[in-house]
Chains A and B, each alone.
Chain A
Amino acid sequence: MSIRDGGGGGGGESTNAGLVVCQQVSKTFHDFWMRDRARAVTNLSFEIRPREIFGLLGPNGSGKSTTIKMILGLLRPSSGRLAVFGKPASDVSVKCRIGYLPEESYLYGFLNARETLEYYAKLFEIDRRTRERRIDELLDMLGLGGAQFRPVREYSKGMQRRIGLAQALINDPDLLILDEPTTGLDPIGTRQVKELIIELGRRGKTVLLSSHLLADVEDCVDRLIILYGGQKRAEGTCDELLVTQSRTTIETDTLDDATIAEVDRIVRSRTNGSGGLLRVGKPRQSLEQLFLDIVERAKGEQLTTSGATSGGQTASFLRAPEEQGSALIESLVKAKDEPVPVAAVAAPVAPPAPARSGSDAPLIDALVSGKAAPTAAPVAPAKPIAPTPIPRNEGVDTSVIGSLLGGGPSGGDAGPQSGPQSGPRGGS
C-alpha cells in the first residue's frame, strides 16, 4: 500500500480500475497526402492506477509526448483503446480533473502571472473567492509573488515554467500530467517540483510524469515504463527495474583499514569464499546538494533577486490534509462526494518524510508493487534518509536503462551503494 492511501483520498477512484488505461494504442502521423509520415507510438499498453505516481521515461522522440497528448485528447490514437477516468480521452468532463503542464510553457505573453492563472481558473469555473486564494498561494509557493504583475513574455524560461506549473495545479487536479516538468528550472525549482509531486502523491493524487531526465523520474515515481521508438521496453517499479538483487551496500561511519579487512573476512567466511567486498570508498555529496546548500546560505545573507524567488511552502490546497485541516481540504477538493477510503478517515497520516523507510517499508513495498516483502536488510540503517537532500543516482544498476537509451544518460558506475533507502520518494 502506498503511504498516500492512508492520507489522501482526493482521487476517489476504485483501486481496481486504471485511471488511465491504454490498450494496444498506436499513433501514426500522416502528411498532406495521407501517406504515413511517422509512426510515433506502436501497440502501447499500460495502466495508471489511482493514487500512484507514474513515470514515462524515454529519450527524445520516443513517443512520450505523443502518448500524453493522446491521453489529453489533443491527438487521436490511430488504433487501440485509450480511456481516462473510464471515459474517452476526448470527453470534456474528464478534463475538469486533469492538470497538464506541456513540455514547454505555452502562455499568453501579454498577460501577467495573476491574469494567466485567473483565466485558467475561470475555465474550471472556480468561484472568485477560491480562485483568489489559490492564485495567491500558488504564486507564493512558486516564488512569483514579486513578479506577478509583469507580463509573462518578460519572464525567464524558469519563471515561465513555474507559472505553467501553477496553471496545471489551479484546479487541484486528481490527475496531474507533467511533461518534462523540470526543464528550464534551476536546482531549487527542480527540487521544489519533485517535492510537490511527492506531496501530491501523498495526498492521493495521481501523477503522470514524463521525462528523459532519469533522476527526475527515479526520485518520485512508484512505477514507470520506458519507451523507445514508440514501443514499451520495460515496465515496473523503480526497485524492480533498478535494484541489483545480487549485491548489498552497507554505509557506516568511517572505518579503518583493519575493520574493513575484518568485514571482508567475515563476508568471505559467510559466503564460503564466493563473496567479498568489491569496492570500498567515501560517499560523495551530489552537486545538486552542494548548490542547494550554497543558495540556502545566500538566502540567509538576505541577497535579493529580480526573478523568481525560491518560493514558499506548498499551497495549502495542495497540501496533505493533516497539515491544513481536513475541513479546509475537503472544501477545496472538487470531488468530495466521491468515496473516500476508510483508511483515509480512520488512520493517522504518516509525516511527509521517508515514504518507505523504517519498519513500514516492507509492508508498503509489498502493497504498492505486489512483490514480496524483502527479507531483513543486511544492516538496519541507523540514519535511513538524510532529511533534505535528494539522493544522487548512486548505486542504481543502470544497465537496463543504458542499453535501452542507446548511450543516454546513465546512472554511472557501480560505486558504493547507499543502501535500501534509495527507493522511490525516499529523498524528501
Chain B
Amino acid sequence: MKWREWIGKLDYVQQGLWFKVVASVVVILIGLATLLSLTVARAAAEPATPPGASAPTSPTTPTTPAAPAPPAEDDGAAAAAAAITSILDGRNDLTSASVGIGLAVAVALVVVWLGVALTYLALGCIAIVVAGILPLLGVPRDAARLGLGAVALGAAFIALMRGARMLLSYPHPIIALARHVLDEAVRMRVSAIFVVLIIFAMASLPGLLDDTQPLRYRVQSFLQYGTGGIFWLISLLIILFSVATVTFDQRDRTIWQTMTKPVSPFSYVLGKWLGLAVLSAVLLSVCGAGVFLFTSYLRSQPALGERIAFVAMGQESISEDRLILETQVLTARRTVEARGAPVNEEAFEQNVRDKVAAEMARLGELSADPAERRAREQFLDEKIRSDLRKNVEASFRFIPPAQAQVYTFEGLQDARDSNRPLIFRFRADSGTNAPDATRVVSFAFRGGEIVVRKLPPGQFSSFPILASAIDANGTVEVQIFNGDVVQELTNAEGISFPKDGLQLSFAVGSYRVNFLRVMAVFWVKLAFLAMVGVALGTFLSFPVATLVALTVFFAAEGAGFLTAALENFWTEDAQGQTMYFNTVVAWVAEWIAWAFRTYSDLRPTERLVEGKLLAWSEVAYGTLVLGIWTIILYVGGVLVFARRELAIYSGHS
C-alpha cells in the first residue's frame, strides 16, 4: 500500500463517527487525569501541618510567637502579611489551571470533531522535531522559527479547510461542486504549490524585518508585505486556479461526467465560483490571522527611544516612534486635505473668454468652416480653462521665500467633538528636492500654536496639533511661513505643496476593525477575480484565459496609476495635431481606469499601512460595484457555457 493510500485510509478513519467518539473520550480522560494530577501535586507540595496545630501558619504571619510585632506597626504588618499570604495562596488556586485545561480540552475536541485529530498529531510531531531536535543538530534558529510558523499556519489552514468542507457537505450540485473545488485546490499541483508558497512566505515575513529600524517602520513593512504581498500571491493563485479548474475539466473531459448529471450551466459556474470564494476566505483568514497576531506581537515590543514597551527613555512621556505608531499607523484615521485655491469665478471666466478669443483670432485664417471653428473653440475653451485652473492652484500652493500663505481644512466637526489631537501631515517640495538639502517651514495655528520644522524637501513629515485649533465651524486655518518665523530665518528658494501635500487627519476608529474591513475588501476583490477566471475559462483555453485574466488583474490593480498618468498623457502634439496611436492608448487607458475605478479606489493595503480609515460605506459601495461586475461576468459565463457544445468530434474527419 502506498503512502497516499495510507493517508487516504487514515483520513477516512479520523472522519469516522466511532473514531471521533473514542478520541473525544480519550481527550476528556486525559484532561481529567491532568487536572487530578495537578491537584494531587499541589496538595503534596503544601507544608505538612503538625498534629495538634490549630491552623496552618505562614513564616510571616504575626501569630508567629518567635517574632512578635510591635503594637504600633501591628496593623500594617498584618495587612502586608495577609496580602502576601493571599498571593501565596494563589499559588495553590487551581482555577486558572482548570480553565487552561478546559480550554485545551475544548480545542482538542474541536480538532477531533473536525476530523483532523491524526493530522494534528502528525503536525505536532513535526513541530517537536523542528523546534526541539533540529536546533540541536545545528540548524539555525531562524530556520526552526520558519518551520514552526509554517506548521502553525498549516495547522490553521487544514482546520479551516476541513471546517469549510464540513459546511459544504450538503448534497446539492452547487455545494458539491464548491466542495470539489476545495479538494482540487489542495491536490492539484498548480494550486497546491501556491498554497505552500503562501504559507511559507507568510511564515518567513517576520524574519525579514530589520530589528534596528524604528518600530513603526517594522510594523508598516510587515503590514505592507503581510497584506499587500500575500494578497497578490493569493490573487495569482485564485486566477490560475479558477481558470484551471474550469478549463482542465474540459481538457480532461471530466466535465462530460459532471454535465451528464443534473447539473445546469448555472449551477456549474456558480459552484465553481463558490468553491473559489470559500478558498479565498480560508486563505485570507489564515494569513490575516497571522498578520494580525504578529502585528500585535510587534506592538508589544519596545519602540525606538523606549526602555521597555510603552515606557520612554528620559523625561518624555512617550517616544516619538511610539506616538507615530499609535496615532498614524495602528489606527483608523480620516484625512482631510487643504481646500483649493479661493478663485474669483467671475474674473476667472472673463480670463478664459479673453484667452479663447485671442487664440481664435490668431488661428482665424486656418479654417473658414463654422462647424470646425466651433469645435476648435470648444476645445480651446476646455484646454485653457483646465490649464488656468491648474496654474491658479499651483500658484496658491507655492510660497516664495520669507512669505506666508493661509490654508484651510474643513469638515473637522467630528474631530472637534472628540477633542482628540490631530495629525498634520505635509510634504514641501523645493528646487530639485535634493536629498542632502533641508528647508525650514513654520506653521501657525489658531490659538497661537506655532510649530517649526526643519526637513529635507520632497518627503512627508507630520506632527500632532491640539483639537483646540479647530474653530466652531469645524475648520482649521494654518498659516505656513517659508522660513523660521521664531528665529526670523528664511529659505533661499520657494516651497510648494503638491495636491495631496497638506493633510489633517484624526482617529475615527480602531485599527482592529479597520483590519477587518481591509480583509473584507480583499475577499470581495478575490471573489471578483475568481469570477473573471471562471467566466473566461468557460470559453477559452487555459493559457489564453490565464493571460486575459492576469491582464484584467494588472489593469485593475494599476487603474489608479493609470488615472494619475493620464493627466500628463497628451493625444496632440505641440502643433495641435492628433496623435492617433496616443489617442487609442488614451481611450483604452481611460476605459480601464473607468471600469476599475472602484476596485482601485479602495486601496486597502495603503490604508492599512498608513492607518487611514476604510469606512464601512466604502466597503459596502465597493462590494456593490464589484458585486455587480461579478454578476455580469457570471451571467456572461453561464450564457456562453450553456451555448457551448462540451463534447467534441472524435471520429474520422
Contacts and interface: CB of A to CB of B under 8 A. Distances in A.
B260 A110 contact: no
Interface string B253-291: 110111111111000000000000000000000000000
Contacts of B171: 121-122, 124-128, 131
B652 interface: yes
Contact of A167 (B6, B9, B257, B262): B257
Contacts of B651: 38, 40, 60-63, 65-66
B421 to A, nearest CB: 57
Interface in B174-198: 175-177, 179-180, 183-184, 187-188
Interface stretch (B155-163, B445-453, B583-591, B641-649): B641-649
Interface in B306-355: none
A75 interface: yes
Contacts of A171: 261
Nearest to B254: A106
A75 B647 contact: yes
Given A74-B646, A104-B253, A106-B253, 8 more contacts: A29-B653, A37-B653, A74-B256, A75-B647, A108-B184, A111-B187, A121-B171, A123-B258
A150 B4 CA distance: 7
A123 B261 contact: yes
11 contacts: A38-B652, A74-B645, A95-B263, A98-B260, A100-B260, A106-B256, A108-B180, A120-B261, A123-B262, A126-B171, A154-B4
A185 interface: no
A112 to B, nearest CB: 5
A241 interface: no
Given A96-B262, A111-B183, A122-B171, A65 B650 contact: yes
Interface residues of B, number: 41
Nearest to A126: B171
A92 interface: yes
A164 B171 CA distance: 20
A44 B171 CA distance: 38
Given A38-B649, A110-B183, A150-B8, A122 B176 contact: yes
Interface of A: 29, 37-38, 40, 60-63, 65-66, 69, 72-76, 92-93, 95-96, 98, 100, 102, 104, 106-108, 110-112, 114-115, 119-128, 131, 147, 149-151, 154, 164, 167, 171
Contacts of B254: 106-108
Nearest to A153: B4
Contacts of B5: 112, 147, 149-151
Contacts of B177: 123
Contact of B253 (A76, A100, A102, A128): A102
A149 B1 CA distance: 10
A128 B254 CA distance: 24
B173 interface: yes
Nearest to A60: B651
B2 interface: yes
Contact of B263 (A61, A62, A92, A167): A92
Given A106-B254, A123-B258, A92 B264 contact: yes
B172 interface: yes
A124 B263 CA distance: 9
Contact of A124 (B188, B253, B262, B645): B262
A120 B257 CA distance: 9
Contacts of A167: 257
Interface string B227-252: 00000000000000000000000001
B12 interface: yes
A102 B256 contact: yes
B645 A151 contact: no
Contact of B647 (A74, A108, A123): A74
A119 B183 CA distance: 11
Given A114-B12, A115-B183, A119-B176, A100 B647 contact: no
Nearest to A130: B171
B497 to A, nearest CB: 58
A73 B262 contact: no
A112 B263 contact: no
A93 B267 CA distance: 13
A111 B253 CA distance: 16
Contacts of A29: 649, 653
Residue from B171, B179, B256, B260 with most neighbouring chain A CB atoms (10 Å): B260
Residue from B179, B261, B647 with most neighbouring chain A CB atoms (10 Å): B261
B95 to A, nearest CB: 42
B182 to A, nearest CB: 12
A95 B260 contact: yes
Nearest to B170: A122
Nearest to A121: B171
A231 to B, nearest CB: 13
Given A61-B652, A75-B645, A102 B183 contact: no
A233 to B, nearest CB: 16
Contacts of B653: 29, 37-38
A335 to B, nearest CB: 13
B253 A150 contact: no
A154 B645 contact: no
A344 B187 CA distance: 48
Contacts of B9: 149
Contacts of B4: 150-151, 154
A120 B173 CA distance: 9
A123 B172 CA distance: 6
A62 B651 CA distance: 8
Contacts of B175: 122
A122 B174 CA distance: 9
Contact of B260 (A73, A107, A147): A73
Contacts of B172: 122, 125
A61 B183 CA distance: 36
Contacts of B6: 149
A123 B188 CA distance: 21
Contacts of A164: 257
Interface in B120-174: 169, 171-173
Contacts of A120: 257, 261
Contacts of A74: 256, 259-260, 645-647
Contacts of B187: 110-111
Interface string B1-24: 110111011001000000000000
B183 A149 contact: no
A37 B653 CA distance: 7
Given A125-B173, A126-B171, A76 B645 contact: yes
B8 A151 contact: yes
B257 A106 contact: yes
A131 B9 CA distance: 18
Contacts of B646: 74
Contacts of B260: 72-74, 95, 98, 100
Contacts of A127: 171
A115 B183 CA distance: 10
Contacts of A151: 4-5, 8
Contacts of A124: 171, 261-262
A273 B649 CA distance: 57
Contacts of B264: 92
A92 B266 CA distance: 11
B626 to A, nearest CB: 30
A393 B647 CA distance: 34
B642 to A, nearest CB: 8
Nearest to A113: B8
Contacts of A108: 180, 184, 254
A258 to B, nearest CB: 57
A220 to B, nearest CB: 21
Nearest to B13: A149
A149 B257 CA distance: 21
B38 to A, nearest CB: 41
A196 B31 CA distance: 53
Contacts of B650: 65-66
A21 to B, nearest CB: 19
Nearest to A101: B257
A173 to B, nearest CB: 10
